[in-house]
Amino acid sequence: MAIDHQMTPAGPAGQVLDPGATAVAHPNIALIKYWGKRDEQLMIPYVDSLSMTLDVFPTTTTVRLSPEAPADSVTLDGSPAEGEQRRRVVAFLDLVRELAGRTEPAEVDTRNAVPTGAGLASSASGFAALALAGAAAYGLDLDPTALSRLARRGSVSAARSIFGDFAICHAGRGTSEDADLDSYAEPVPVPDFDPALVIALVDAGPKAVSSRAAMRRTVETSPLYRSWATSSAADLTEMRVALRRGDLDAVGEIAERNALGMHATMLAARPAVRYLSPATVAVLDRVGWLRANGVPAYATMDAGPNVKVLCHRTDAARVAEALRDAAPGCSVVTARRGPGARLRTGAER
């Protein structure tokens, strides 16, 4: 990626200010889910996954080098990041610095339009934007594959948000070191499929158990995990055919069963991880009712209670109204396929 590294002539104290690099990335929702890592250090997933990047809820992240600072500074939505949130960003910057052969601390300012940690893929847009802005700020010239591989080290789902539209993330094969090279996302061209994804936000609050901790517990304790992983590979094969055909019913059916199966693995973990709330179930019932009444609509849920409903664009308003009615008080946002991560140019900053 090209690096736009203009220097503003003079700052408040007369010193040269680095404008840094600013990147924008959108969340993505998996139609075939990633759940479970075989190597937590290198962030290697057990399964392939396939997603649609959205045109809503962008993350905007600026990374500026601050050679004089004693340590990295990280601001998330205007407040200093603390604990695990800060640790993940600093560990990611350490990786970028290692790749770039640099040591300067950085100042990171990131803003999520999406609620953070609510099962709406903030870690995907967050680390895709940080990978792009961080690589540019530290002078790394990475192609999209290398950027996706890098983003995966922040959050596996972020590997897919480097790309717009539909993307597949390969789990990688062989040893962890081999898989580290082979695990990245790439676009899945689907020119004739442009559905709506109606998002019912039943609870925008942060989840009690992070995706990372929940999938760790699932892999370690759920007797259902392996059979879901096996059936997910078959789901992916069928999904690729359904997407090529632009067959919304087939895509929706496969996505819905893949997501429900993933939640079944969590429910069988010890202790159980349950993200689905009564409002989630009310929305799922309504999706079934829509289908029974001739409106093709299919649900998928991530690590949180919010439901995303795939439907034809022409049915989106009707689906949105039905979901609002099913979970009074919820807000409903209609998304479509959206763009890949991009750097802002000088003029836009």
Contacts with ligand DP6 by CB under 6 A lie at 30, 33-35, 49, 123, 155-157, 211-212, 302-303
Size of site (CB under 5 A) for Co ion: 2
| Cα–Cα distance for residue pair 25/5, rounded to 1 Å | 19
Q: Does 280 bind ligand ADP (CB under 6 A)?
A: no
Provide the token pair at 217.
């517990």
**Region near ligand ADP per CB under 6 A, out of 122-130, 184-192, 325-333, 340-348:** 122-130
- Residue with the CB atom nearest Co ion in the bound state: 123
Contact partner, 126, from Co ion, ligand DP6, ligand ADP, none, Cβ < 5-8 Å per class: ligand ADP
The reply to whether 22 sits near Co ion by the rule CB under 5 A is no
Smallest distance, Å, CB 127 to Co ion?
A: 9
In the DSSP assignment, the letter for residue 114 is: S
* Residue 184 token pair: 């990245």
- Interface residues for ligand ADP in 82-101 (CB under 6 A)? 84-85, 88-89
Q: Rounded CA gap, 79 and 195, in Å? A: 36
Asked if 110 is part of the footprint of ligand ADP (rule: CB under 6 A), the reply reads yes
* By CB under 5 A, residue 211 contacts Co ion: yes
171 close to 160: Cβ distance less than 8 angstroms: no
28 binds Co ion (CB under 5 A): no
The answer to whether residue 160 forms part of the interface with ligand ADP (CB under 6 A) is: no
Dihedral sign (CA 140, 144, 145, 148): positive
Residue (125 or 222) nearer to ligand ADP, CB: 125
**119 lies in the binding site for ligand ADP (CB under 6 A):** yes
Do you find a cis peptide bond into 105, omega within 30 degrees of 0? Answer: no
Distance CA 334, CA 195 (A): 10
Close Cβ partners of 15 (under 8 Å, ≥ 6 residues apart): none
Shortest distance in whole angstroms from residue 141 CB to ligand DP6: 25
Query: Could you tell me if residue 76 is left (phi over 0), alpha (psi between -120 and 50 degrees) or otherwise beta?
Result: beta
Nearer to ligand ADP, 84 or 220 (CB): 84
Q: What phi and psi values does residue 169 have, to the nearest 5 degrees? A: -110, 120
Using CB under 5 A as the binding rule, whether residue 53 contacts Co ion is answered as: no
Cα 190 to Cα 202: distance, rounded to the nearest angstrom: 30
The entry of ligand ADP, Co ion, ligand DP6, none that residue 35 binds, CB within 5 to 8 Å by partner kind: ligand DP6
Residue 30 binds which entry of ligand ADP, ligand DP6, Co ion, none, with Cβ cut-offs from 5 to 8 Å by kind? ligand DP6
Cβ atoms of 233 and 258 closer than 8 Å: no
Structural Rg of the chain based on CA atoms = 20
CA distance 282 to 276: 10
Nearer to ligand ADP, 64 or 88 (CB): 88
Distance (Å, whole) CA 104 – CA 102: 6
Residue nearest to ligand ADP (CB): 126
Q: Write out the residues near Co ion by the rule CB under 5 A.
A: 123, 211
Q: Write out the residues near ligand ADP by the rule CB under 6 A.
A: 59, 76, 84-85, 88-89, 110, 112, 116-123, 126, 130, 155, 210-211, 302-304
